[in-house]
Amino acid sequence: MNRQTFDEVMVPVFAPNAFIPVRGSGLDLWDQDGKHYLDLTGGIAVSGLGHAPAELVEALTDQAKKLWHVSNYFTNEPVLKLAKALTEATFAEKVFFCNSGGEANEAAFKLARKWAHNHFGAKKSRIVSCLHSFHGRTLFTVTVGGQSKYTEGFEPLPQQIDHIPFNDIEAARAAIGDDVCAVVVEPVQGEGGILPASPEYLKALRQICDDKNALLIFDEIQCGMGRTGDLFAYMGYGVTPDIMTSAKALGNGFPIAAMLTTTEIANAFSVGSHGTTYGGNPLAAAVAYKALEIINKPEFLSRITEAGNKLKASLERVVADYPGVFAGVRGKGLMLGLVMSDKYHGKAAEITAAAAQQGLLLLLAGYDVIRYVPALVIKDEHIVQGEKLLRQALDTWLKASA
Ligand SMILES: *Cc1c(COP(=O)(O)O)cnc(C)c1O
């Protein structure tokens, strides 16, 4: 098996790296040749506790020996424990489990429409979302997402979906009329380039939604589960949504996602309104319960803020020492973006490729942002080592492109 096998047998929707990771531990990753990498990608904000964390391995294998699957004709203990823990930890009173972020948003948008239809009639069906947002790849969620390159060629698309510029309160006021059933926003845009919402913006959306009887949906699939230093980003903003979606780090790589809401809104669904075969299966629930228990501790969350500040300072030193290459650093907690300058527009991918050569794994967010969403358990020495490898990569790349 090698990278060429991918081109032979896989549907070509991804262009993975040339090397194939085979083993991971914490922030360390090794490929087929035994080459070591410092992994600062966190599996795209998924592996919050790093690769193969012992406590989750134990939770998974313990459950694997007991019960994997029982279907929705039955409930199971792990899922009830997880739902209780999530409702105790958040604003939510009810949880729906599924398997991916896209599915959680699909459930959220369907629920919002159903709720609005039940209370106000079928005309209240419009969904407003932000440009450059990302909400998943089902036809509904990709249409709600604010990146037309992902919907081109898939028409006809679901109707009554509008997009507004992110962080623009006036645009929100103009777009959110009485026919809007829901407004969806990522408190920190991930794929769109690591852009935090301003607190005023989220407060204004809350107010407008209240005025217009629209539901406010926060997509915390990337920015939740500790990533910003709060268990969920809405807590740091002090703005409570009506529906929130979680996935990615919820299962630390074991597929699970959740849609959280209030009892009043959840009651718009009834038996048969929506469903899933795997959602809330005992294996995934056991892993997520343990992940939540570890992350939702004050010491763990305050260390995320501390590590985020250190990583930010490290990246700011790099910005200062390579004048003209970068425009700056932005983000929140351990969700940071190193932004390319205009002069180096479109070059972020060359830098991440050069970094991989040095044994440092980094991500992109769009064409001009190098994205840092490392495991939340990142240590100070990883930050120091990451800066050293990034500098080596930049030196090599600048020499080669001169
Ligand atoms: C990753 C992501 C999704 C989609 O999650 P999948 O598990 O890939 O379906 C949705 N919203 C946001 C903000 C994401 O980052």
Q: Is 276 annotated as a binding residue?
A: yes
Ordered domains of the chain (ranges, CATH): 3-53+298-401 (3.90.1150.10), 54-295 (3.40.640.10)
Helix (H) or strand (E) holding 89: helix 77-89
Averaged over 263-275, what is the pLDDT? 98
Question: Half-sphere exposure (CA, 13 Å, Cβ side) for 316?
Answer: 8
Q: Is the CB of 224 under 6 A from ligand 1?
A: no
Q: Whose CA is nearest to atom 15 of ligand 1?
A: 222
pLDDT of 333 above 90:
yes
Averaged over 336-353, what is the pLDDT? 97
- Chain centroid to Cα 184, Å, comes to 14
Angle in degrees, CA 282, 287, 292, rounded to 5 = 120
Which of 134, 186, 243 is the best mutation target for the ligand 1 pocket, counting ligand atoms within 8 Å of the beta carbon and taking the most? 134
Q: Hey, what are 204's tokens? A: 């204004």
Assign 47 a pLDDT band (cuts: 50, 70, 90): very high
Q: Is the CB of 107 under 6 A from ligand 1?
A: no
The average confidence (pLDDT) of the chain is 98
Q: Is the CB of 247 under 6 A from ligand 1?
A: yes
Per residue in 127-143, pLDDT (tens digit) is: 999 999 999 999 999 99
How many angstroms does the Cα of residue 284 sit away from the middle of ligand 1? Answer: 17
Averaged over 336-347, what is the pLDDT? 97
Averaged over 41-49, what is the pLDDT? 98
What is residue 359's predicted lDDT score, i.e. its pLDDT? Answer: 98
Q: Is the CB of 129 under 6 A from ligand 1?
A: no
Q: Is the CB of 135 under 6 A from ligand 1?
A: yes
What is residue 312's predicted lDDT score, i.e. its pLDDT? Answer: 98
Terminal CA-CA length for the chain: 37
What is residue 402's predicted lDDT score, i.e. its pLDDT? Answer: 82
Distance CA 300, CA 50 (A): 14
pLDDT of 39 above 90:
yes
Distance CA 13, CA 16 (A): 10
Per residue in 279-290, pLDDT (tens digit) is: 999 999 999 999
Give the chain's radius of gyration (CA, Å): 21
Q: Hey, what are 69's tokens? A: 């699957």
List of residues 6+ apart from 57 with CB closer than 8 A? none
Q: Is the CB of 101 under 6 A from ligand 1?
A: yes
Q: Is 210 annotated as a binding residue?
A: no
Q: Is the CB of 219 under 6 A from ligand 1?
A: yes
Averaged over 353-377, what is the pLDDT? 97
- In this structure, what are the phi and psi dihedrals at residue 337, rounded to the nearest 5 degrees? -125, 130
With CA atoms as reference, report the closest residue to 50 among 17, 31, 30, 24: 24
Per residue in 153-171, pLDDT (tens digit) is: 999 999 999 999 999 999 9
Ligand 1 atom with minimal separation from the 248 CA: 7
How many angstroms does the Cα of residue 102 sit away from the middle of ligand 1? Answer: 6
- In this structure, what are the phi and psi dihedrals at residue 347, rounded to the nearest 5 degrees? -100, 0
